[in-house]
Amino acid sequence: MTDTTDDIAEEISFQSFEDDCKLLGSLFNDVLQREVGSSFMEKIERIRILAQSALNLRLAGIEDTANLLEKQLTCEISKMPLEEALTLARAFTHSLNLMGIADTHHRMHKLIDVTQLSRSCDDIFTQLLQSGISSEELYQTVCKQEVEIVLTAHPTQINRRTLQYKHVRIANLLEYNSRSDIGHEDRETLIEDLVREITSVWQTDELRRQKPTPVDEARAGLNIVEQSLWKAVPHYLRRVSNSLKKFTGKPLPLTCTPIKFGSWMGGDRDGNPNVTAKVTKEVSLLSRWMAIDLYIREVDSLRFELSTNRCSDRFSRLAEDILEKESSENDSDRGQSSFLNQQNSSLPTQLTDKAQHPSCIEDGDSQHPKFEINSTTDFVPPNLQKQNEEDSPKTDSKPNADDTHTAGLTSRGSFSSTSQLLFQRKLFAESKIGRVSFQKLLEPPPLERAGMAPYRIVLGDVKDKLVKTRKLLELLLEGLPCEYDPRVSYETSEQLLEPLLLCYESLQSSGAGVLADGRLADLIRRVSTFGMVLVKLDLRQESARHAEALDAITKYLDLGTYSEWDEEKKLDFLIKELKGKRPLVPPTIEVVPEVKEVLDTFRVAAEFGSESLGAYVISMASNASDVLAVELLQKDTRLAVTSEHGKPCPGGTLRVVPLFETVKDLRAAGYVIRKLLSIDWYREHIQKNHHGHQEVMVGYSDSGKDSGRFTAAWELYKAQEDVVAACNEFGIKITLFHGRGGSIGRGGGPTYLAIQSQPPGSVMGTLRSTEQGEMVQAKFGIPQTAVRQLEIYTTAVLLATLKPPQPPREKKWRNLMEEISTISSQNYKGTVYENPEFISYFHEATPQAELGYLNIGSRPARRKSSTGIGHLRAIPWVFAWTQTRFVLPAWLGVGAGLKGVSEKGYADDIQEMYKEWPFFQSTIDLIEMVLAKADITITKLYDEQLVSENRRGLGDMLRKELMTTEKYVLVITGREKLLESNKSLKKLIESRLPYLNAMNMLQVEVLKRLRRDEDNNKLRDALLITINGIAAGMRNTG
């Protein structure tokens, strides 16, 4: 939901966009006429016309008249009763959202109409081949590409999920409306459907009334996968494959996946006490359950499609084996049916008194025996005997009182006799003899000969195993014990791929390749991409929490206090323990809840392993010991779990990824990686367990809040160079993980531009990057846009690998960057951290304090309870300034830096840097985009109405800084006006301004009233709706 990160903003035809806006606007006005009446509709229209007229005059340079109209507009809004203000806010918010939907639809439509888009596979493959890259090198580089997009639950998605779905439905209806082949009657029905959807949107509460839980956030992320990425991935891979075949003569291998997906939703516990080990376990199991459920649906469709009986001999034998196995199972089931007949013969023909009572009531009056399966039942269905023997303890038929709490052990832990009883009842209910005949009505009759439909037989067996796998996961989600059996269920994607690939090979060899390359190929590609978990869950925790856990352990062992040791002593201790073979943490240790939570998280990591989980990310990493501490806790827990279960932990150890966030830590990143790789144990561990691959994460948000956007960008660039050099020195491959936010103030920007401006050698076919909050929906919420974004990721990484961007041409450029950065950082820090009035000004001039009412995320806005900027998270910091149209975090300090070097006579040099150095060009271009969204007049209104008179001078000073930044950005780019080279984006922004300006005026008025009456819930609702509306208009939150 943003312009600044939109890689396809230039792909716009404004005529069709404006037509859609008019259609939706007209239908919305009709809805409002019915909902609020014609009298209030006239007021809404008057406000809109005033705002539009003021904007037109300002764009024409007639400032005085524009100011008069804006004052009149402000005056009319200030006189509005609360109910009317609330309705106006809702109307303008929905108008801005509908414009956003029209924009989304237009992009979808454009992607279909254009034969060859810029930055598409065809476009970039052509460029690379023309530049001298051989077709074989191109093919191998694409096949080896490893990109992972990590979806996060950062609290920047302002819209409720309910409204997001409705918006997608409206976009789909617009897409249908753009077709030329629909008749008059169908078009009338379509308009009626649009009216229904818009009416439903208006009658839906825009506000979340309670904070989402981490599991809620994870479900929302998984829903994006189910509704969009699940459909998009096969189309994207087919597009890559077709382009490869066109330009190299070879398609993409069927199991090759240039892009995969990860997630932080349910795993990111940094500063969020709501994300616990239990939550992580539940989310991981839920993700696996959803993957299996989606595969079951696909296999069902595939069974219907593959009715052919032509197959290879090998495949025919496989189908015969399956039929044979099923036949032997049916024979064993006949023994079960005789047991049922015996039970049926003793059932009463007439119900007695109190028969309605539950069987657990022991009143002694019943004349008939109760049917029950207790923990010592003599009968267990034959197909479950093996599993029951493994899972259930051997007990006497008459347990004494001391035995009632005896626990039976399973692979997942222990359970009481009551749980065992429930478990056995559930197993019985799931067995064949416990099924009702309803399921048989849904299934076709079983095939008796493999030659009749061999693919249906094999896929039927696949489905059966998938269903059993799903049941197993449901038991685990319910907290019931169970044991994985590879003969009847799947645990790895390789197990699922095996029969699917056999189907594919059989179809190809028997002349049915056209069938093989359809739905079956899509399913194989989905399994290769999503695996058994849809998205692998990363775990993230702050380094200080690991130090606290080691403090508790070393104190318990009388070794002293770990956190008080110097770095060398820490490393000596950690390396010694890592080389040892005994567990460090005694099972009898008692720790405080915070430490227990850390240890429990490592237990989940050990139980699930790298098959389900991705990386373990250490936030605020600053030393080599931070990484080794996690390696030790991980190793120790795996030893304990292995000993407890009597078998190795599943999968391998998780990758441990240091996250360097602050400017200080970024500057030390190369040193830390060199120190780590110089340790023999660690280097051997990386080579043996992680294929010689070191992953390092760099954070954009906190570095920007720390020293300003320009300094952060330069320090990130240098840190990446240093980390790459460090890994090259030790012969270790590097994957850089970019923690980019959605907004430019937190490192956001067009994906293509960002990747193309990385340091040379930092993108060598591998990349990880976060997509946060509202960006997940904006980029991947609709299959058509998701396909385009995935393609852009692929082509940008490919180009950066084979044709890396140019480094600074000469050392002088680096020196100039250092000087700009130094001046910029000093200016930024002098304002934000050293001016004693700034914090008070920030709280008065922005709705920062009120953002907490939004309920848009599960985590607190601050890492620690403090009113300072230091502990405020980057998202509310950027969010608040975006609301007031100051967008200060993205540009503060930049103007001072550019002015400083220009006045020293280096203006020509920085113009050359802009033309020839991709990194510098992209940095300046992103700042230009932000400046185009800033509005000095609106920021002044906030100051005049909300800020104490003695602090308004600070606002005036900041506005002068804003104008200075704009002046020098235009000098460097050689343009006369902002966004002169991106007229599509400029026009998009201007089209929203009439509504957006009025929303800002309304927000100022509501804030003024709310601060005098803080407990007024209707005022609070009105404010939150204006926040939603401005976010929709700015196409940015935090």
Please name the residue that has the structure tokens 């059993």: 468
In the three-class reduction of DSSP (H, G, I as helix; E, B as strand; rest coil), residue 275 is classed as: coil
Q: What is the C-alpha to C-alpha distance for residues 833 and 828, in angstroms, rounded to an integer? A: 8
Cα 265 from Cα 41, distance rounded (Å):
42
Buried/exposed code over 344-379 (b: 16+ C-beta within 10 A; e: otherwise): eeeeeeeeeeeeeeeeeeeeeebeeeeeebebbeee
Tokens matching residue 429: 């209910």
CA distances from 89 to 80, 230, 605 (A): 11, 36, 47
Among candidate residues 874, 889, 879, the one with its CA nearest the CA of residue 854: 879
Going by their DSSP bridges, the two strands 413-415 and 408-410 should be labelled as: antiparallel
Q: Is 154 a known active-site residue?
A: yes
Summary count for the chain: helices (H), strands (E): 40, 10
Strand partners, 1022: none
**C-alpha closest to that of 397 among 374, 370, 428:** 374
C-alpha to C-alpha distance for 876 and 156, rounded to whole angstroms: 9
Asked if residues 257 and 142 have their Cβ atoms less than 8 Å apart, the reply is: no
Give the distance from CA 902 to its chain's centroid. 41
Catalytic residue of the set 705, 718, 738, 899: 705
The alpha helices in 363-512, defined as continuous H runs, are 382-391, 417-430, 438-442, 454-477, 493-509
Rounded Cα distance between 122 and 115, Å, is 10
Q: Are 77 and 1005 in contact (CB under 8 A)?
A: yes
Which one from 105, 154, 635, 899 is the annotated catalytic residue?
154
Q: Which sign does the torsion angle of CA 201, 203, 206, 210 carry?
A: negative
With tokens 């699930």, the residue in question is: 608
Angle of CA points 718, 724, 726, to nearest 5°? 100
* Whether 220 contacts 163, CB under 8 Å: no
What are the residues whose beta carbons fall under 8 Å from the beta carbon of 672, sequence distance 6 or more?
A: 621, 622, 623, 624, 627, 658, 660
**Distance between CA 119 and CA 127 in Å, rounded?**
10
Instruction: Confirm if 966 and 73 have CB atoms less than 8 A apart.
Output: no
CA angle, 406 then 408 then 412, to 5°: 135
- Residue 246 appears among annotated catalytic residues: no
Whole-number Å distance between alpha carbons of 215 and 520: 32
Distant-in-sequence, close-in-space partners of 322: CB < 8 Å, separation ≥ 6 = 450, 457, 458, 460, 461
3-state secondary structure 883-897: HCCCCHHHCCCHHHH
Q: Are 314 and 253 in contact (CB under 8 A)?
A: no
Instruction: Give buried/exposed letters for 682-702 (b at 16+ CB in 10 A, else e).
Output: bbebbeeebeebbbbbbbbbb
- Residue pair 427/384 in contact (Cβ under 8 Å)? The answer is yes
Q: Answer for the pair 310, 510: CB distance below 8 angstroms, yes or no.
A: yes
Q: Which helix (H) or strand (E) covers residue 157, if one does?
A: none
CA separation for the pair 629, 577 (Å, rounded): 10
Residues marked active site are found at: 154, 705
